[in-house]
C-alpha cells in the first residue's frame, strides 16, 4: 500500500494482521438494526458490524460470515472464528488471503455502507 492513508483506511488496517495461515480480522458485532440492514462502519479504531440478526447465540457469527462472503467472495471454509464466539468483539481467521486483499474488500464495503448511512 502506497501513499497517504485516510483515517478510515488506517482504522481498517488496525483490525487486520497477517499470520502464516492468512489474515486475522477483528470485528465488533452489535445487534442493532438502526440502518435497516447489516451495515459495516468504522467507529474510532473499530470495525463495527451492525446486524439485523436477532440476539440469538450464533446469529452474530452468521452475519459476519455473510459479510465476508459478500465483501470478499469467500466460502465458509475460508473463514474461522478464533476468538470471541460469545462476546461482541470477535477475531476471525481469513484463510489463504493476504492482508491487502482483505483490506481492499473491506474498504469498499465500509465506503459503500457509510455513504448509505450518511444518506439516511
Query: What backbone phi and psi angles, to 5 degrees, belong to 35?
Result: -105, 5
Main-chain phi, psi angles of 82, to 5 degrees: -115, -15
Report the relative pairing of strands 46-51 and 22-31 from DSSP bridges: parallel
pLDDT at 52: 95
What's domain 7-118's architecture? 2-Layer Sandwich (3.30)
Which region, left, alpha or beta, applies to residue 86 given φ > 0 means left and ψ of -120 to 50 means alpha?
alpha
First to last CA, the chain: 32
**DSSP annotation of 3:** S
- Pairwise pLDDT comparison (119 vs 89), residue with the higher score: 89
Residue 2 predicted with pLDDT over 70 = no
Check whether 3 has a pLDDT greater than 70: no
Which tens digits make up the pLDDT trace of 25-65? 999 999 999 989 999 999 999 999 999 999 999 999 999 99
CA proximity to 29, closest of 98, 103, 87: 87
Provide the whole-model pTM: 0.90
What lies within 8 Å, CB to CB, of 113 at 6+ separation is 35, 39, 40, 41
| pLDDT beyond 80 at 110 | yes
- Cell readout for 84 is 470471541
Give the burial class of 56: count Cβ atoms within 10 A of its Cβ; 0-12 exposed, 13-18 middle, 19 or more buried. exposed
Amino acid at each position: 500500500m502506497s501513499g497517504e492513508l485516510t483515517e478510515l483506511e488506517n482504522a481498517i488496517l488496525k483490525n487486520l494482521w497477517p499470520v502464516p495461515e492468512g489474515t486475522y480480522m477483528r470485528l465488533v458485532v452489535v445487534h442493532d438494526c438502526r440502518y435497516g440492514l447489516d451495515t459495516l462502519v468504522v467507529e474510532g479504531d473499530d470495525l463495527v458490524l451492525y446486524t439485523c440478526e436477532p440476539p440469538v447465540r450464533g446469529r452474530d457469527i452468521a452475519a459476519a460470515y455473510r459479510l465476508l462472503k459478500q465483501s470478499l467472495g469467500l466460502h465458509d471454509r475460508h473463514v474461522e472464528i478464533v476468538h470471541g464466539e460469545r462476546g461482541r468483539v470477535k477475531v476471525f481467521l481469513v484463510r489463504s488471503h493476504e492482508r491487502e486483499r482483505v483490506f481492499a474488500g473491506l474498504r469498499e464495503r465500509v465506503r459503500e455502507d457509510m455513504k448509505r448511512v450518511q444518506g439516511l
